[in-house]
Structure 1
Amino acid sequence: MRLFALRDYRRLFGAQVIALFGTGLTTVALGLLAYDLAGPRAGAVLSTALTLKMVMYVAVAPLAAAYVDRLPRRTFLFLLDVVRGAVVLALPLVTEVWHVYVLIVLLQAASAAFTPTFQAVIPDIVTDEADYTRALSASQVASTMESLLSPVLAAAALAFLSFDRLFLGTSAGFLLSAALVLSTRIPDARPSGRTGARDRAAAGIRTFLRTPQLRGVLALDLVVAAAGSIVVVNTVNHVRDGLGGTQSDVARMLAASGAGTLLVALVLPRVLNRVAARTVMATGAGVLTVGTTAAVVLTATGLLGWTGTAIVWSVIGVGMALVITPTGQVLRASVARNEIPEAFAAQFSLSHLAWLVTYPVAGWLGSTAGFTVTWSVLAGLAAAGTAGALLLWPRRDGRGTPAGSASAVPPAPGVRASGTDRSTLVEAA
């Protein structure tokens, strides 16, 4: 592929992938650390840590996007990786729950600043229009694949290592990412056309609020967060306390959700050539609503054993992939090219705002009211998000074009709108 023939992009993309997998492995290890420190209260501890993560993402990402053109970006990305590596290295040494919270704030603040900075660098390294579209798609695919493969890698590692060794591996990964960033030639940032930091930080959010299909994406973010919180937060207590499983069993059950994602990843590119993104994403929302409802029914009847859990977790993985994977395509088709970085930064921040709502529900309510009540609330949120998306995102735009199709939005200024270009965009997503 011509895109990966670009030396600087290849190295920067490698740094992003390594950092993504470092974050994913850290999440798995963090759940096991929470259980080691708090036992039955692990869900509450983990949800608090992840809630702090979401606070950092919601608060820091827009600010980083606003100020990124004023920073020496290579040095900044390098320092962010070093900070993350040092924090992860310190996590297995903690002895109190509050130590975890402090370190998570530092870790996730650095991660929240890394993503918009990385996205702002891409157009300066990848100048060809088609390659730039592929670069955004590659970043989206990398994020999706991380959610699939991190639990699988963790399950394999935990068969031979204790969970605290995962922290050592992820710390080394962040340092390798830092080395790749340092070896990349990143040009100086060009000043943004927006003069006020507040205006730049809010620009992407305003775009979401005024664009029907992007308002639908916001509702779908809530569906993903509601279902995903069950898997991310509650798996450790459900497997360890409810099923009597081991650390490796926790990672394997997380991998079951990832297997659902893999199944969709193999077939979805061809589907998106024939089916509008809105239809695919709405189907995914329906799958997630069914999955969360099934979790409620099975846990209420005492039938959520090993097989039932694996099936429900896999269904949730399928639904999440159906919603998340086409999101980049919808964003790119909905805004002008010069607004794409702001739109992606806004999606990064606003999607994590949904998780900021659902993580505390999964953890805190789960620790006090039990899984049946907690998952009922999350299933209700998933259903509400699905209904909201269908209402907010019209089936057809004002010209009678199916909403969410590649031709539903006028091309950005300076971007060709030929059928070939649109096909390439859909295939890349």
Structure 2
Amino acid sequence: MITVLRNGTYRALFFAQVIALVGTGLLTVALGLLAFEIAGDAAGSVLGTALTIKMIAYVGVAPLVAALVDRLPKKAVLVGADAVRLAIALTLPFVQDTWQIYLLVFVLQSASATFTPAFQSLIPSVLPDPQQYTRALALSRLAYDLDSILSPVIAAALLTVISYNNLFIGTALGFAASATLVLIARLPAHTPDATTSTFWERLPTGLRVFARTPTLRFLMAANIVVAAGTAIVLVNSVVYAKGVFDLDDAALALALGAYGVGSLIVALNVPWIVDRIGVLRTMSIGAWLLVAAMVAAVTVTVVAVSTGEGWWALLATWALLGASTSLINTPSSRLLAAASTPANRNLVYTAQFALSHGCFLISYPIAGWLGAIGLPIAAIALLGLAILGAIAVTVLRRPALAFANGVETAAQGRSVGPSS
């Protein structure tokens, strides 16, 4: 897996991602504690609203910005987005009211909606070989998972000597380091699609590719499943840890770390799993495994709310949610790379970014607002959403597999071929 780091450009981009992720991990812990300080037991509702605003930025801003900057140098786009995120991170320690959280989160996540698709769409051009690209995806997932484990540990250690507000400074340093590494990387030349010369022509390009491609319709269904499992972890972990189990600040870091451990274990094994059974089958297994994990989450929640017991069962459930999410997310970009060309790749990746986060726009309010009424109600609702998504995945897998097999021969000449 680590052999892909021999590519100098990918190595710089990868470490830019890793350092920014550490900073973002500190931000996740700090934001949860900030919300709890301001809103107490209603922190889940505040986080749910903040994350909903984040999704609005991702869904509404990402396609607009991608169409606007598609012809600009990628390096300028990435560094500019990092600069905005750095400035907002330095502002967050001074927040005193919930509306300020909402405003700053919108601006910060608008910058992330610019950075992330542009960053992800570069990798297939840097590593055009399908197997190398799969290993890069696994390594990227590994970075996310290690961040989920290490950032909370780092945060917990720092919280013993500093206040949580100072964690935002670590976030700013992460974005500064990310921008520096992007600046020194030699990025491939970007060739815009000559057939979509205007903003209004570029804007719907990614959505059109999704609409006509069976494998991407399958991916859209998988996005629904991921959104259900992710929401209960990111929105309600702080409420479980501090409100239900009455634990200290470090317990939130431990809960998020358990989720990361599950995802990490799977990410290490995704390359050989995909080599044996293909992308679509791997993602289908992940979808139904996540449904099983949500059943466990409902059970743990009911017991915990009733008795105050079950902290270790919660951690095990969070690990299973992380594992199933990784089975879906890690290989999914193979489908995007296969369905796009170098000219329209950024717009296709941006469409996935917007559509996947549109699913979070549904699941985050369910987790936050229903969770404020009762955690078991939120868990049951998210289980229902996961089941609907998994059923859609099962229905759409057959036409997606037929499509992938049908174009396999022709796709061999492309930069990254499709995988079943």
Superposed displacement of residue 16, structure 1? 2.9
CA–CA distance in structure 2, aligned partners of residues 316 and 122 of structure 1: 27
- 1:76 equivalent to 2:77? Answer yes
Partner of 1:366: 371
One-letter amino acid matched to 1:138? A
Q: Distance in 1 between matches of 2:361 and 2:368?
A: 11
> Partner amino acid for 1:320?
T
Report the counterpart of residue 265 of structure 2 in structure 1. 263
Residue in structure 1 matched with residue 397 of structure 2 by the alignment:
393
For the residue of structure 1 that corresponds to 2:398, the secondary structure is: coil
Q: Label 1:208 to 1:158 Cα distance change in 2 as closer, same or farther (>3 A).
A: same
**The one of 142, 155, 178 aligned to 1:157:** 155
How far, CA to CA, are the matches of 2:355 and 2:370 in structure 1? 23
Q: Which moved more, 1:275-284 or 1:97-106?
A: 275-284
Any idea what the Cα deviations from partners look like across 1:334-383, whole Å, max 9, x if unmatched? Answer: 4455444333222111111111110011001111x201111111100000
Contact 1:25–1:150 under 8 Å retained in 2 = no
CA distance in 2 between partners of 1:242 and 1:24 (Å)? 23
Counterpart check, 1:317 vs 2:322: yes
Cα shift readout 1:149-204 (whole Å, capped 9, x = no counterpart): 23432223313423222211111111111222333345764432212323323222
Aligned position for 2:276: 274
Change (3 A) 1:232 1:414: same
More deviation in 132-141 or 297-306? 132-141
CA RMSD between the two structures: 2.8
Q: Specify the code of the residue in structure 1 equivalent to 2:311.
A: W
For residue 28 of structure 2, give the secondary structure of its aligned residue in structure 1.
Answer: helix
Change (3 A) 1:70 1:136: farther
Say if 1:147 and 1:57 are closer, same or farther in 2 by CA, change over 3 A: farther
SS in structure 2 of the partner of residue 326 of structure 1: helix
Q: Look up the match of 1:245.
A: 247
Which deviates more, 33-42 or 198-207?
198-207
2:128 paired residue number: 129
2: CA distance, partners of 1:255 / 1:209: 37
Seen in structure 2, the aligned counterparts of structure 1 residues 373 and 255 have a Cα distance that, compared at 3 Å, is same
| Residues 22, 151 of structure 2: 8 Å contact kept | no
Q: Does 1:166 align with 2:167?
A: yes
Distance 2:68 2:134 in 1: 21
Partner of 2:225: 223
User: What is the aligned partner in structure 2 of residue 380 from structure 1?
Assistant: 384
**TM-fit CA distance, 1:207:** 1.6
What amino acid maps onto 2:128 in structure 1? E
Distance 1:213 1:74 in 2: 30
Q: 1:182 to 1:378 in 2, by over 3 A?
A: same
How big is the shift at 1:64? 2.8
* Cα deviation code 1:88-117 (max 9, x no counterpart): 111122111111111111111111111233
The answer for the alignment partner of 2:300 in structure 1 is 298
Question: What is the 5 A alignment of 1:6-405?
Answer: 6-119=7-120, 121=122, 126=126, 129-130=128-129, 134=132, 138=136, 141-143=139-141, 145-161=143-159, 162-186=163-187, 189-193=190-194, 194-301=196-303, 302=306, 305-336=310-341, 338-367=343-372, 369-394=373-398, 397-398=401-402
* SS of aligned partner of 1:393: helix
Q: Residue deviations 1:197-234, cap 9 Å, x none?
A: 23323222222122222211111111111111000000
**Offset at 1:14?**
2.5
Distance in 2 between the 1:12 and 1:196 partners? Answer: 29
After superposing the two structures, state which structure 1 stretch, 287-296 or 325-334, moved more.
325-334
> How many Å separate the matches in 1 of 2:264 and 2:192?
40
Structure 2, unaligned runs of 5 or more: none
Distance 2:137 2:271 in 1: 15
Q: Is the 8 A contact 2:142 2:264 kept in 1?
A: no
Relative to structure 1, is the Cα distance of residues 322 and 178 closer, same or farther in structure 2, using a 3 angstrom cutoff?
same
Distance in 2, Cα, partners of 1:267 & 1:10? 21
Q: Structure 1 residues 324, 185: closer, same or farther in 2, change over 3 A?
A: closer
TM-score (norm 2): 0.89
Partner Cα separation in structure 1 for residue 342 and residue 75 of structure 2 = 23
Residues 203 and 237 (structure 1), Cα distance of their counterparts in 2 relative to 1, 3 Å cut: same
State the distance in 2 between where 1:32 and 1:151 align. 18
Deviation readout 1:78-137 (Å, 9 max, x if unpaired): 22212111111111221111111111111111111112333455577x3x733x874585
DSSP 3-state at the match of 2:96: coil
Distance 2:138 2:3 in 1: 18
What is the DSSP-based 3-state SS (H/G/I as helix, E as strand, rest coil) of the residue aligned with 2:203? helix
C-alpha offsets along residues 274-317 of structure 1, whole Å, 9 cap, x if unaligned?
A: 11322221111111111112221232243661121011111111
Greater Cα offset, 320-329 or 373-382: 320-329
Q: Distance in 2 between matches of 1:168 and 1:32?
A: 15
Query: What secondary structure, in the 3-state scheme, does the structure 1 residue paired with 2:414 have?
Result: coil
Specify the code of the residue in structure 2 equivalent to 1:322: L
In 1, Cα distance between the equivalents of 2:142 and 2:225? 16
Change in CA separation of 1:69 and 1:281 when aligned onto 2, cut-off 3 Å: closer
- Give the SS at the match of 1:312: helix
Q: How many residues align?
A: 412
What percentage of aligned pairs have identical amino acids? 40
Alpha-carbon distance change, 299 to 347 in structure 1, aligned in 2, over 3 angstroms: same
Q: CA contact under 8 A between 2:134 and 2:331: conserved in structure 1?
A: no
